Amino acid sequence: MPKKILLLTTGGTIASAPTAQGLAPAIGSDDITEKIAPIASLYQVTARDILHLDSSNIQPEEWRLIAREIYAGASGYDGIVVTHGTDTMAYTACILSFLLRNIPIPVVFTGSQLPLLHPLTDAMDNLRAAFAMAASGAPGVFVAFNRKIILGSRAVKVRTTGFDAFESVNAPYAGSVNSAGLDLNHAVLPKPKGPFFLDDAMENSVFLIKLTPGLDPQIFDMLLQMKYRGIVLEAFGAGGLHFIHRDLVSKLHKIVEHGISVVVCSQCLYERSDFSLYQTGKKVLENGAIPGWDMTTEAAVTKLIWALGHTHDSAKIREIFATDYVGEIHLPKTQ
């Protein structure tokens, strides 16, 4: 019996066509299913348009819409494929990993670097992998791209034009497509820890700062005035912030005292931050910042948005960041 797959389309490059203003979403689910008929014929496919947006315009309001569409359809299908623009796909896949708690079926995001209508498109390969993963029975939220399957909580877009646009950062691939077909890494696949439910409380008052030498600490005063509730700070290396000439550490202490949760991670793409190694990092922890360890920036930002939707209590936010929900973090063994 062919697996029942729900295809949800949101726009993006995969659905785009040339216009006078440049590429823009132009085709819908009917066009896509017709174009991918050889792939769709292997499954029982139901296709539905939910958005027609460049992914730069997909924001928390759209995350909630996508999550609710998936939640509503999950019980009737073996798996769900979501086509999405590549620019913010990693953010969407990551936040939905938190919103769709204990999802019992595969939800697979994919897209392309060239439109589906382009003769050299990479969309067909990506859709083949996405449908195969959606039919695999492995629960969780994933990104399928360039014959790789990546946990939604670990995907990062690392190239703007190359077909190998996404990488799994600080975690092995969840699977790959090779001569054996779809080859899953079961050690990486998330395991549901309870009943499936929609957990879509979010608060979007989170600001991301990439630390640069000489950054003026007054930026934090401005964020305080703007009533931000959370900050993700990409520090140097394993975890360094300057406190000579311009004292960022004291300023962090001030905003933490005002109830703002500050998550600090590394601006290095690979490996973990460890703020216990150096004097500068230890000062950060002593002043109340929350370590992000090996989380991606996308995961740190979306997890904080999700956490703030549930509580403004800094201690509880810290507990949430000391918990691995969907493979988004490798905590040190002492945790």
- 283/57 Cα distance (integer angstroms): 38
Residue whose C-alpha is closest to residue 52's, from 20, 30, 35, 37:
30
Q: Where are the beta strands (DSSP E) in 163-298?
A: 166-168, 175-178, 181-184, 197-198, 206-210, 230-235, 261-266, 290-291
Query: Cα-flanking dihedrals φ and ψ of residue 240, to 5°?
Result: -125, 140
Is pLDDT of 76 > 60?
Answer: yes
Q: Is-contact 94 152, C-beta < 8 A?
A: yes
How large a percentage of the chain has pLDDT more than 70?
A: 96
Give the pLDDT score at 335.
Answer: 47
For range 300-318, the mean pLDDT: 97
What are the residue ranges of CATH 3.40.50.1170 in the chain? 4-198
Q: Is-contact 233 264, C-beta < 8 A?
A: yes
Q: pLDDT tens, 160-207?
A: 999 999 999 999 999 999 999 999 999 999 999 999 999 999 999 999
Tally of CB atoms within 10 A around 146 = 20
Q: Can you say how many angstroms the Cα of residue 267 is from the centroid of all Cα atoms in its chain? A: 16
Give the pLDDT score at 7.
Answer: 98
- 196/183 Cα distance (integer angstroms): 26
How large a percentage of the chain has pLDDT more than 90?
A: 82
Query: What angle, rounded to 10 degrees, do the helices at 89-99 and 297-308 form?
Result: 40
Of the listed ranges 25-34, 105-114, 148-157, 281-290, the least confidently predicted one is 281-290
- Its CATH class, for the domain covering 206-321, is alpha beta
Give the pLDDT score at 277.
Answer: 64
Is pLDDT of 281 > 70?
Answer: no
Q: pLDDT tens, 97-155?
A: 999 999 999 999 999 999 999 999 999 999 999 999 999 999 999 999 999 999 999 99
Of the listed ranges 26-30, 94-98, 99-103, 212-216, the least confidently predicted one is 26-30
Residue whose C-alpha is closest to residue 174's, from 121, 220, 138:
138
DSSP 36: T
What are the residue ranges of CATH 3.40.50.40 in the chain? 206-321
Give the pLDDT score at 274.
Answer: 74
Written as one letter, the residue type at 123 is A
- 281/319 Cα distance (integer angstroms): 20
- 104/244 Cα distance (integer angstroms): 51
Catalytic residue among 9, 13, 86, 121: 13
- 302/100 Cα distance (integer angstroms): 13
The model scores a pTM over 0.85: yes
Q: pLDDT tens, 220-279?
A: 999 999 999 999 999 988 877 777 788 888 888 889 999 999 999 999 999 888 767 655
Tokens of 219: 């930026």
Residue whose C-alpha is closest to residue 157's, from 109, 101, 107:
109
Q: Is 60 in a helix, a strand, or coil? A: helix
Is 10 noted as a catalytic residue in this protein?
no
Superfamily of domain 4-198, CATH level 4: L-asparaginase, N-terminal domain (3.40.50.1170)
Q: Is-contact 138 130, C-beta < 8 A?
A: no
